[in-house]
Amino acid sequence: MSTAHHRKKQPLFVRQQLLEVAARLASEKGMTAVTLDAVSGASGVSKGGLLHHFPSKNMLLEALFESLLERLDAAIEEAMRADPLPHGRFTRGYLHACLALRDQPEGTKDWAQVTMVLLTEPQLRQRWHAWVRERSEEYVGTDSSVDAAIVRLAADGIWLADLLGSHDMDESARQKLIDRLIELTQL
Amino acid sequence: MSTAHHRKKQPLFVRQQLLEVAARLASEKGMTAVTLDAVSGASGVSKGGLLHHFPSKNMLLEALFESLLERLDAAIEEAMRADPLPHGRFTRGYLHACLALRDQPEGTKDWAQVTMVLLTEPQLRQRWHAWVRERSEEYVGTDSSVDAAIVRLAADGIWLADLLGSHDMDESARQKLIDRLIELTQL
DNA sequence: TTGACGAAACCGTCCAACTGGTATGTTATG
DNA sequence: CATAACATACCAGTTGGACGGTTTCGTCAA
């Protein structure tokens, strides 16, 4: 009517905000809680505004997933840059990225939860499949040993365990486990 | 009114049917597709009938999850009975149960997908946590080595990979991987 | 053996709240 | 002033679930 629309225009910020709210909702209340109304409500952005950034709910979810893959890629690349040994480097990077969840600032864990939530959506599962295929083809020279595969699988397992709260163990046990995994990548 | 209600009374069968339909929906179309209408529609049971067996949607999901845990327990126990060596027996049973998904008759794979879908629901996540805790306490004597933990994590990873279609590998590579994992449980 | 009876198993309808989405504004900013 | 960045209003379909009905079935007295 009269007094409204006075929000400052910050397209990138608002877009990011919307994604974060969607992520939080998904991780805290499950997939069924991620509705357009809920997202717009919790983020203080109108539904119209939300639908301006993401033309449909599917687009929102896809953007969310894409954003997650970018984060994953960044984390892996960063770890790989600090790793001098080519053999098994990607696997160690992957492991490191999976481990990183636990220790990072709050909010980050949410993103992992979302990943799983999103992976239950059949369409996004294909996107993930594509990601894996790309990487496994790219690093076929340095990371295709049996033990490397085991480590990557275990990394997935740790990722799962961390975000489900299962397989809980104390810090020293965890460190031993990590050491052993890294050792396996070097064989 | 007049011609209806002529269904034979088969409470256990109908109940099972409803759970299976819910499972199929969840795995094929994701969590958002599991609605009371959809379940009752696809199972040929009226919504009233559905709500008779499961007083609420949450109850339905919980029952579904419970049914999954029972299946998992049964699979593990069966594998453990055929295993003469105490050391690492549970871990091998767990591994076996996770591997079994792939090779079993059609429809079984769906159940794994459902498991993951259900795990995104925060309430059910706690139930899973409790399950893991129980088992890890029960088998602390025989399955608490670092390598056993790695194997169980890798089993989770395989479980994830199988149902996401990622980490695809040929049969001989898979067999090598399994052999190596079993070897690790025996150290 | 029967048949009345109560409970359990199912059905069909209705509803308020919510769903994703459209259409049409209004305002900030280059 | 044109366009992107928002907001507001509205809609048709769907949602979970409440409710009252109908039918089957085990049981137990007669």
Q: Which of B19, B52, B148 is nearest to B92 (CA)?
A: B148
Q: Span A113-137, mean pLDDT?
A: 80
Compare A107 and A42 and report the one with higher pLDDT.
Answer: A42
**pLDDT tens digits, residue range A78-108?**
999 999 999 999 999 999 988 886 666 555 6
What tokens does A172 get?
Answer: 């020293």
- Residues A53 and A39: their CA atoms lie apart, in Å, by 12
pLDDT at B3: 40
- Residues B50 and B124: their CA atoms lie apart, in Å, by 21
Q: How many angstroms is C1' of C17 away from CA of A37?
A: 13
Mutate one of B120, B135, B160 to test the A interface: name it (highest A CB count within 10 A): B120
- Residues B100 and B74: their CA atoms lie apart, in Å, by 12
Q: Which residues of B are less than 8 Å from A129 in CB distance? A: 164-166
pLDDT at A1: 42
Mutate one of A109, A147, A150, A183 to test the B interface: name it (highest B CB count within 10 A): A150
Q: Which residues of B are less than 8 Å from A149 in CB distance? A: 167, 169, 173, 177
Q: Among A105-119, B66-80, B138-152, B173-187, where is mean pLDDT lowest?
A: A105-119
Q: Which of A106, A99, A86, A72 is nearest to A156 (CA)?
A: A99
Q: Which of B137, B153, B146 is nearest to A173 (CA)?
A: B146
Kindly state the DSSP code that residue A44 receives in the 8-state scheme.
T
Task: Read off the pLDDT band of A52 (50, 70, 90).
Answer: very high
- Residues A90 and A82: their CA atoms lie apart, in Å, by 11
Tell me: pLDDT of B4 over 50. no
- Determine, for residues B119 and A119 on separate chains, whether the beta-carbon distance falls below 8 Å: no
Task: Read off the pLDDT band of B9 (50, 70, 90).
Answer: low
Q: Which nucleotide is nearest to A53 (CA to C1')?
A: D5
Tell me: pLDDT of B109 over 80. no
HSE, side-chain direction, 13 A CA sphere, residue B148 = 20
**pLDDT tens digits, residue range B21-56?**
888 888 788 777 888 888 888 888 888 888 888 988
- Residues B21 and B44: their CA atoms lie apart, in Å, by 10
- Determine, for residues A152 and B149 on separate chains, whether the beta-carbon distance falls below 8 Å: no
Closest chain A residue to the Cα of B98, Cα to Cα = A157
Q: Which helix (H) or strand (E) segment is A125 a member of?
A: helix A122-138
- Determine, for residues B150 and A149 on separate chains, whether the beta-carbon distance falls below 8 Å: no
Task: Label each residue of A28-39 as H, E or C.
Answer: HHCHHHCCHHHH
Q: Which residues of B are less than 8 Å from A30 in CB distance? A: 31, 120-122
pLDDT at A4: 54
- Determine, for residues A167 and B149 on separate chains, whether the beta-carbon distance falls below 8 Å: yes
**pLDDT tens digits, residue range B115-141?**
877 777 777 888 888 888 899 899 998
Site of tokens 């591994």: B95
- Contact call for residues A108 and A159 (beta carbons, < 8 A): no
Q: Please tell me the total number of residues recorded for chain B in this structure.
A: 187
- Residues B26 and B20: their CA atoms lie apart, in Å, by 10
Tell me: pLDDT of A42 over 50. yes
Proximity of residue A141 CB to strand C below 7 A:
no
Q: Which residues of B are less than 8 Å from A144 in CB distance? A: none
Kindly state the DSSP code that residue B36 receives in the 8-state scheme.
H
Distances (CA, A) of A104 to A72, A79, A101, A112, A140: 13, 15, 6, 11, 30
Task: Read off the pLDDT band of B110 (50, 70, 90).
Answer: low
Q: Which residues of B are less than 8 Å from A146 in CB distance? A: 173, 176-177, 180
- Determine, for residues B146 and A173 on separate chains, whether the beta-carbon distance falls below 8 Å: yes
Q: Mean pLDDT, chain B, as a whole number?
A: 83
Site of tokens 């990487």: A135
Helix runs in chain B, H state only: 11-29, 36-43, 47-53, 57-81, 89-103, 108-119, 122-138, 146-164, 171-186
- Determine, for residues B153 and A149 on separate chains, whether the beta-carbon distance falls below 8 Å: no
Could you write out the DSSP letters of every residue in A61-86? HHHHHHHHHHHHHHHHHHHHHT----
Amino acid identity at B107: G
Residue A172, helix vs strand vs coil: helix
Closest chain B residue to the Cα of A182, Cα to Cα = B150
